[in-house]
Amino acid sequence: MADPIRIVALLSGGGTTLQNLIDRIAAGTLNAQVVGAVSSRPDAVGVTRAERAGVPVRVVRAAPKRASFADEVWSAVRQFAPELVCLAGWLHLLVIPDDFKHKVLNIHPSLLPAFGGKGMYGHHVHEAVLNYGAKVSGCTVHFADDTYDTGPILVQRCVPVNDADTPDALAARVFEAECEAYPEAIRLIAAGRVAVQGRRVVVSG
């Protein structure tokens, strides 16, 4: 078996996405290693989840208007020498440096390009889906770029929107899809099957 791909997770909140990756790795269904986590909040529940799993954590307090914020984040990331960075509930826009181009993944709780952009995260997304009257939703794993939710798309999974759905009910269904989609995307990258051609992501084999 190939060596596990080295992942750093960026988080700002509860860390459920990170926990999913940790659980998949522990179950032997994802050949990866979370070598570190960077949190924008010292009190984020995700920090506790990471520490419980033995994942070292660096905290870079959120201050997007501080000129050095992004540099501090990437400096912390580089300390872990990752092959891939996974945004896991990270709520801050970061310019992707050249050495991490097409090495940063994000997961968004809708079928992009629908219901994406600044301010569209968590329950804001699910409320917007329901208010619009959409009949399907889902999740999108994409490469992060320098704006919100616009990078090349790698994996999407679709879920139905039911007439009786609340934002919480839809969120739970979408999260189940996220738990499958993120590991799938990581496996494809680890296998060397992914090439980015402009806006298109081509998966070989």
- Binding-site residue ranges for (6R)-10-formyltetrahydrofolate: 66, 106
Q: Which residues are annotated as a binding site?
A: 66, 106
Report the C-alpha gap between 78 and 44 in whole angstroms: 21
Report the C-alpha gap between 84 and 87 in whole angstroms: 10
Report the C-alpha gap between 204 and 200 in whole angstroms: 13
Written as six digits, the tokens of 80 are 């872990």
Which of 102, 108, 126, 142 is catalytic? The answer is 108
**DSSP label at residue 75:** H
Active site residue 108: yes
Report the C-alpha gap between 189 and 116 in whole angstroms: 24
Phi/psi region, residue 102 (left: phi>0; alpha: psi -120 to 50; beta: rest), is left
On whether the CB atoms of residues 18 and 46 are closer than 8 A, the answer is yes
Angle, alpha carbons 83-18-40 (nearest 5°)? 85
On whether the CB atoms of residues 59 and 28 are closer than 8 A, the answer is no
Residues forming the active site: 108
